[in-house]
Amino acid sequence: MPLDEIYSVSEITHSIKLLLEENIAPLWIEGEVSNFKAHYSGHYYFTLKDSGAQISAVMWRSRASQMHFRLEDGMKVQAFGSIRLYEKSGRYQIDIMRMQPAGVGKLQLAFEQLKQKLKDEGLFDAEHKKPLPPFPSRIGIVTSSTGAAIRDILNVLKRRAPHLEIIVKPAKVQGEGAAEEIAAAVELFNRWGEVDVLIVGRGGGSLEDLWAFNEEITARAVYNSKIPVISAVGHEIDFSITDFTADLRAATPSAAAELAVPDYTEIRGQVLYLKERLSRNLENYIRQLKTAVASLANSYGLRRIEDRIRQLALQVDDLDTKLAQAGFFQLNQRKNVVTQLEKRLDGLNPKQVLKRGYSITYKNGVVLKDADALRMMDVLETEVAHGRFSSSVIKINKDTENA
């Protein structure tokens, strides 16, 4: 640059920017994080420093969202990025593309941080664990449709419970998007609500292979499930985050299937044994009762009661005979009295007089007793023994005078 030429600040700053950015290739840098700020936009701003110097750092939201650990002040990290100059302030900084903890595996640190976070929220507490149903009729499985895990689970379930209905929702269990697919499958089963138990897992692998089960979205989906969940990630010694939020942890997919359902053959054998034992006990009890009844039937006390009953029955029969005889006698007496009364009553019946040739005369329906009540041409009705006839008065004879 010519020495006698005058440059603007912007020109100098831009020249420095070109020198830095075109001559320093992307590189790894190690330092301690300070002044960390997670902006509401999602970008990270902080300073990397060591004992002798410091450099500003920025990590844009698209890259920060892919980090597997939580950044904090005082953390020593290794960052890969490009040196950039922010012209407005004249300050250079490193534009970080990816970052990992220094000295500690990044995945292991992310695991520990998420584990502590969810533990502090209470997602691991025993009081939130749902019991498994003792005899499920339908089981849902979330795993890869091509891995060994699904074959192991199906083989065990079909052997232990041939009657069981099995619903499989395939999902990626490794790589980008796997955690989201697993969480979505768990939520889908819950919306359907027609399975009794969920088995969520995969076969073994490295920490990186199993990382989908250490993602927060997977852990929360399992924790929020209304259906009991068995975590079946194939690593017998270590635990995943999903193991802690699940209702039950199985060391392998095969073990999860064994925990999910009782052995049908074993249960059937127990039922048959109990049935046979109950039958034997019932037969023995009936024999004991028969023996006790036979003993009572042959006892003197029972025979004496039977004899007493027979004697009382004879007395009852005797009394019944006497009562019947007394009843017939009383009835005949009552009949005789009634007959006599009927005869006397019949003798007083004026209708009986008619049979001897007498008659009864009525005027206007009233028995005529006195000729004074008659008038010429009155219509009278006369009753004789067998019937009635009408007549008209043409002559009236009285006891005191002739007419």
Give CA–CA dist 185/178, Å, rounded. Answer: 11
Looking at the domain assignment, is residue 202 inside a domain? yes
Number of domains composing the chain: 3
Give CA–CA dist 150/57, Å, rounded. Answer: 46
Looking at the domain assignment, is residue 287 inside a domain? no
Please give the residue range of the domain that contains residue 77. 9-104
What pLDDT band is residue 387 in, cutting at 50, 70 and 90? confident
Domain co-membership, 147 together with 257 = yes
**CA pseudo-torsion sign 151, 152, 153, 156:** positive
Boundary (domain end) residue, out of 212, 244, 262: 262
Looking at the domain assignment, is residue 242 inside a domain? yes
Bridging pattern class, strands 27-38 and 44-49:
antiparallel
Q: Nearest to residue 142, comparing CAs of 231, 223, 220?
A: 231
| Residue 236: predicted pLDDT | 59
Domain co-membership, 94 together with 147 = no
Find the helix or strand (DSSP H, E) in which 366 lies. Answer: strand 366-367
Query: Given a cut of 90, is residue 230 above it in pLDDT?
Result: yes
Domain co-membership, 28 together with 138 = no
Looking at the domain assignment, is residue 285 inside a domain? no
Looking at the domain assignment, is residue 281 inside a domain? no
**What is the mean pLDDT of the segment spanning 80-100?**
89
Q: Nearest to residue 256, comparing CAs of 232, 237, 236?
A: 232
Domain co-membership, 256 together with 189 = yes
| Residue 403: predicted pLDDT | 39
Looking at the domain assignment, is residue 158 inside a domain? yes
Please state, for a pLDDT cut of 70, what percent of the chain lies above it.
93
Domain co-membership, 131 together with 84 = no
| Residue 66: predicted pLDDT | 82
Looking at the domain assignment, is residue 339 inside a domain? no
Domain co-membership, 130 together with 82 = no
| Residue 180: predicted pLDDT | 96
Cβ pair 245, 222 in contact under 8 A = yes
| Residue 59: predicted pLDDT | 95
Report if pTM > 0.75: no
Domain co-membership, 128 together with 234 = yes
**CA pseudo-torsion sign 198, 226, 186, 124:** negative
Q: What is the pLDDT of residues 99-154, one digit of tens each?
A: 888 765 667 778 888 999 999 999 999 999 999 999 999 999 999 999 889 999 99
Looking at the domain assignment, is residue 67 inside a domain? yes
CATH number at residue 184: 3.40.50.2300
Query: Given a cut of 80, is residue 356 above it in pLDDT?
Result: no
Domain co-membership, 27 together with 69 = yes
Instruction: List Cα–Cα distances, 388 to 79, 370, 377, 381, 393, in angstroms.
Output: 145, 20, 19, 7, 16
Distant-in-sequence, close-in-space partners of 244: CB < 8 Å, separation ≥ 6: 115, 118, 119, 123, 124, 219
Highest mean pLDDT of the ranges 5-14, 17-26, 251-260, 369-378: 251-260
Average pLDDT taken over every residue of the chain: 87
Domain co-membership, 73 together with 161 = no
Domain co-membership, 139 together with 246 = yes
Q: Which of 139-153, 163-177, 264-278, 332-346 has the lowest mean pLDDT?
A: 332-346
Q: Where are the beta strands (DSSP E) in 120-233?
A: 138-143, 165-170, 197-202, 229-233
Find the helix or strand (DSSP H, E) in which 363 lies. Answer: strand 360-363
Boundary (domain end) residue, out of 230, 246, 262: 262
What pLDDT band is residue 325 in, cutting at 50, 70 and 90? confident
